[in-house]
Structure formats: C-alpha cells, structure tokens
A and B are shown apart, each in its own frame.
Chain A
C-alpha cells in the first residue's frame, strides 16, 4: 500500500531525546496504534493533511476538533495575517478584543461578557474560579470520565499532583440524578458549580446525550441549591450551534467555555458569563502574556462569518450523517455491527461486542494506513471542508479496512 512512516519515526526519535514522552498528552503515540499512525504532519488543506512522509489522509480528527472550516482556510488565514501585519502581542489589547467580546456576548445565548484565554483548560479553570468567587463555596461537581482540561484540578493524570488539588472536585455519574443528589446532600451549602458538557463524550466509551431531562434537572437543582452551571462547550461548540450548544440541548448555564473551533485552529479560548456573575468575574485576577493576541481574534470573526454564511452547522451534520450511514453499510456488508453515538459531526464509533477494543484499534489503524485518519479512542470530527466526495472516498477506504479487520479474526493484533 506504500504507507511508510520512516520520516515520522525519525522525527519522533529526535523528539524523544528532547521532549518528555516525545510528544506529550493526547497527541502522543500511546493513544493511537504506533506503526500505523503518523506522528508528525507536514501540511494540510481543506479536509486533508499530509504527514512528513508524504502520505495523504482525509482527516477525521481535525486538530482534535479545532479545525472546523478545513485546514488553510483562505479567508480565516487572511484575516489573521491582516491583523498581525500591523504588529501583535502589544502591551494593550486592540479593537478586535472588544469587537469579539461584543459579538460573542450577543451571540452566545444568555451570556453578557467574555474573557479571552488561549486554551480550553485556561477557560474552564477561570470559570471554576468565578463560580467560587460568586458563591463563596469550594466544591465543584463534574461527570465521571469527563475531560475539562489538564490543569491540576481537572487532569486525568496523577503524577506531580497533591491530594489537595482535587480535594474539592467530586464526580457524579452522567445521566444519574441520584448521584448528583447524593453529592448535594453531602456538601450542601458548599457547592460552587457543576461543570458539564452539552453531552457526555468520554474517551474510550460511547457518547451519551442527556436523558430524561438530566441537564434540565441539574440546572433546576443548581438554582435551588445556589450553585452555578458551567457549560464546557469546548469540544462541541460550533459543531452544534453558533449560539452555544446549550441552545440545542436545552439548558441554561451561568458560564460557557468555548475554544477549539471558534477560530478555525488559531489559539483562542473564551469564558463567557451571565450578567449575574459579572461582578464575581471582575473580582478574579487572571492574565496570560498571549491572551490578548489579536490575530486569533480576527480569525474568530472570519470563522464565525464563514460558518454563518454557509450554514456550516447543517453542512457538517449532513456530511457526518453521510459518513455514519456509509460506515454502517460497510459494517453490515462485512457482518459487523457498529455503535455510533454523539452528534453526526462528532461521531464516536465502536464495534458491538468488542469491549476490549482490539477490533476497533485494528480497523482504525487499517483505515489510517489507507488514508482515512480515524482515531480509535476519541470521537471524530467533520468539518465544512469535507465534501460528499471526500466522505464517499472515506467509505471506500473503510470498506477495505473492514475487510482486513474481519479477516484478522476476533482479536486482531495490529
């Protein structure tokens, strides 16, 4: 098939000499299938990227969701370049800062102010501080296995942490109101916030929508008990709605965190809040040297313009559904059953009766070697740049990958 990764592997060997783990965090090789996946990229355009060995991929990870219009989008890139041509990283913000805060405050339902950071972790951490400042309470409730960033209070890791870092963070079970109520009873009067995603999208497991009014009831409990709801909309974000995913999933947060796709890959995150928590937000000191960099803010304006003008949300949903339908047909043809959950633009795929994920890992690796970049342990992402032809080609690749996977037996070991 001519899928070679020699240059990628050589770069990784160099990286491992000078970078912890070679590549750290979710981009590291542990979570994919080393030997089948490229570890270094050369360039990208639209829905495709090319690795350093020259292999071409139709991409379904898209910068872990940060790319929503496709790579190297001409309008977004031009907006950023134009802003930066006059200099950047000034000591004070530019007009882009105000204009983007005004726009997002109006656009994101129920929000009245915005504070910009660089990464989702910055935004969620700030939101938690605001909630604590607003309520004078300590406890934060999060759904078990939800990811809200890599700072000490939220990281899934454990090295280098103190027990105190997570002493006031408590897990509830998604869609299990009883587990929330138990925490409320245990910590009544001391809960500052519940941090929730618009729907549950844990690694290694199915995505799960709110069922039986779970989110609505959680919000009702929050109002009754005096704690805030933080919507971590960093991953779902503009793939559900330009007005905030809470408008689609019908709940009303006090704080909303956005990042990833808001600037089509340019580094930007934002925490938005309601009028009621504005004063608390002002009381929290936070800053970052690069947080007011206006290039990504100009990119965000252009990104939102493009998404609005092209009805990008609907477009991504349609392409995602085409992919889901195609994959299901492929699976059926090969005698397999897939469970595909989450938004169509963010499908989470697994095989039925494959608890240990051997088959999923083999299938995703086989597809990636053939040019459709499927992650075995994370939900995938579709962009507005994915065309019908791209998806059709992807389904053809999936068909060949499925044939290889099935031929390898129940527990293929790639």
Chain B
C-alpha cells in the first residue's frame, strides 16, 4: 500500500473524526452547526470514505456513506485527499449539493477550526484559551492513527494480530483533557474511541494498560516531537502501567505514525 493511500486513511479516519469533539466544544463550530441539519460525504476514489452528520446541535462521524447527502465531495485520488487535508492546493469535486453553499461554508468552518486545534502554536492556543483541549485532540489523533495503521499498514496489522487482547487508556494525570482508549481485540485491527460521559458499559471497563501524561505540556512536547518520548518516560512524565506486552506493541506502532502524519 502506498504512502498516500495510508495518509488518506489517516486523514479521513483518524483526523476527521475529531470534528465531533470540535463541534461539541468549540464555540465557533457550535455556532456554525446550531440549528443546522446536514450530511456531508467525502469519497476518495480507490481510498477512504467518510460521512459527517450535523443534527442541529452536534456532529457525528461515520465511515459508511448513505444515499442522498446534503453535500457530496469526490476526491479523485488518495493523493488529492492528502493534499487537501495536508494544507496543499487541492480541490474536491462536488458531486452532489453544489447548490448548497451554506453547507460548504459549514464544512469550511469546521475544518478550519480543526486545523487550528491541530496546528496552532502553543502561544496561539493559550491566547485562544484552548490549550488543554487542543492537546487532548492531538492525542486523540495519535491514538486513532494507531488504530488506522493496524487496518492498513501490513506491519502494524501483523503487530496487532500478535498483540494480546486488551484496552489501553491514554489520559492526563490531572484529567485536564479527557482520555482516549484503544481497544486491541482478539482478532482484527485495533479500534480507538473517546472516553466521555457517554461511554458504553464495555468501554468503561477497567483498562488493561494505562498511559498517563503528567500534563498537557508534556503531551504536546512529545506529540510534536519536540521532546523525546523516552526521556519523558524515564523521568516519569509519562507513566506506563499495566499490561506491558500491549504497551510494547502500541509503542511500536506509534513510532510509525510520525512517518505518515507530520
């Protein structure tokens, strides 16, 4: 599988789902969605698909498409998807709903806010009073990306197949930015999900492995590559406790994410 295809899966299935958090917590995004019902579908030729559904007060994400969206966008190739989400010049082809400029505008607002949370500098995030939320979002992208790699990158798929069954929880010691879970089933790829008040009973079961960041600053330093993860582990700024064979597999796959997502 080529790098663009893997990257396109990461953008659509690891990055894009975080829009649901943005829609719930970011004021500008909430205002854009408020009272609006719409479904937006992205279809990549020979690549990933995704559907966003605004229901007036929130946003949901799904990988499966449904007939008759409010807006349908075609990405002619994975490379176009990568350019579009990676900040390059690329225009998707609207195949449905071109006459609904408001929905295109909604998508622009949402993706603009997502880009801000994921790429803004520490200072910009602090000025916008959303530092913790942004770091939580970036951690979620990393964890979702691990799961996506176990679907599409053969080495990661093999590592997941060899890994023990269990659930890893990524969290912050002070609980400042929520937590994300990564489920490693007996068979098949890993699956990531956010933990919040709406978790199901099975999702809320005790995690087999806990990866705990001392704080959001540590997490940002590590996720941005500014700080060495091994230094952070050695200095107990990241605590890893519980099922170590699972931890080893996850760290191994995590090391591959940076090759595809900058």
Q: Which residues of A contact B (CB under 8 A)?
A: 9, 12-13, 16, 20-23, 28-31, 33-35, 39, 157-159, 204, 355-358, 361, 377, 411, 413-414
Contact = CB atoms under 8 A, between A and B. Distances in A.
Given A356-B209, A411-B206, A39 B234 contact: yes
Contacts of B235: 9, 12-13, 34
Contacts of A356: 166, 208-209, 242-243
A358 B234 contact: no
Contacts of A358: 241-242
A30 B243 contact: no
A30 B209 CA distance: 14
B234 A28 contact: yes
B234 A22 contact: yes
A-B CB proximity, top 5 nearest? A35-B236, A16-B231, A29-B234, A21-B230, A34-B236
B243 A28 contact: no
A34 B210 contact: no
Interface string B191-207: 00000000000000010
Contact of B244 (A29, A157, A357, A414): A357
Q: Name the residue among B155, B159, B242, B252 with the largest chain A CB count within 10 angstroms.
A: B242
B255 A159 contact: yes
Nearest to A157: B252
A13 B240 CA distance: 19
B72 to A, nearest CB: 40
B53 interface: no
A358 B208 CA distance: 9
Q: Name the residue among B166, B206, B234 with the largest chain A CB count within 10 angstroms.
A: B234
A301 to B, nearest CB: 38
Given A9-B235, A28-B234, A158 B155 contact: yes
B228 interface: yes
Contacts of A413: 210, 212, 239, 241
Contact of B241 (A20, A159, A361): A361
Interface in B205-244: 206, 208-210, 212, 228, 230-231, 233-236, 239-244
A36 B243 CA distance: 18
Nearest to A358: B242
A357 B244 CA distance: 8
Contact of A357 (B155, B212, B234, B242): B242
B234 A12 contact: yes
B230 A16 contact: yes
A204 B247 CA distance: 12
Contacts of A9: 234-235
A285 B241 CA distance: 45
Contacts of B212: 413
A29 B206 contact: no
Contacts of B242: 356-358, 361
B239 A34 contact: yes
Contacts of A22: 228, 230-231, 234
Contacts of B234: 9, 12, 16, 22-23, 28-29, 34, 39
B175 interface: no
A12 B241 CA distance: 20
A22 B230 CA distance: 7
11 contacts: A12-B231, A16-B234, A22-B234, A29-B233, A33-B241, A34-B233, A34-B234, A34-B239, A157-B252, A356-B166, A357-B242
A157 B231 CA distance: 19
B1 to A, nearest CB: 15
Contacts of B35: none
B245 interface: yes
Nearest to B247: A30
Contacts of B166: 356
A9 B237 CA distance: 12
A66 to B, nearest CB: 23
Contacts of A158: 155, 159, 252
B233 A355 contact: no
A23 B234 CA distance: 9
A16 B239 CA distance: 17
Contacts of A13: 231, 235
Nearest to B256: A159
Q: Name the residue among B159, B245, B252 with the largest chain A CB count within 10 angstroms.
A: B245
Nearest to A411: B206
A13 B210 CA distance: 24
Given A158-B155, A357-B244, A358-B241, A30 B236 contact: no
B180 to A, nearest CB: 17
Given A31-B244, A204-B245, 13 more contacts: A9-B234, A16-B228, A20-B230, A29-B230, A29-B233, A29-B234, A34-B233, A159-B252, A159-B255, A358-B242, A411-B206, A413-B210, A413-B241
Q: Name the residue among A31, A356, A361 with the largest chain B CB count within 10 angstroms.
A: A356
A110 B248 CA distance: 39
B163 to A, nearest CB: 12
A181 to B, nearest CB: 22
Contacts of B208: 355-356
Contacts of A23: 234
Nearest to B208: A356
A334 B210 CA distance: 26
Contacts of B241: 33, 358, 361, 413-414
Contacts of A414: 239, 241
Nearest to B240: A30
B243 A357 contact: yes
Nearest to A33: B241
A328 B259 CA distance: 48
Nearest to B252: A158
Given A16-B230, A413-B210, A355 B252 contact: no
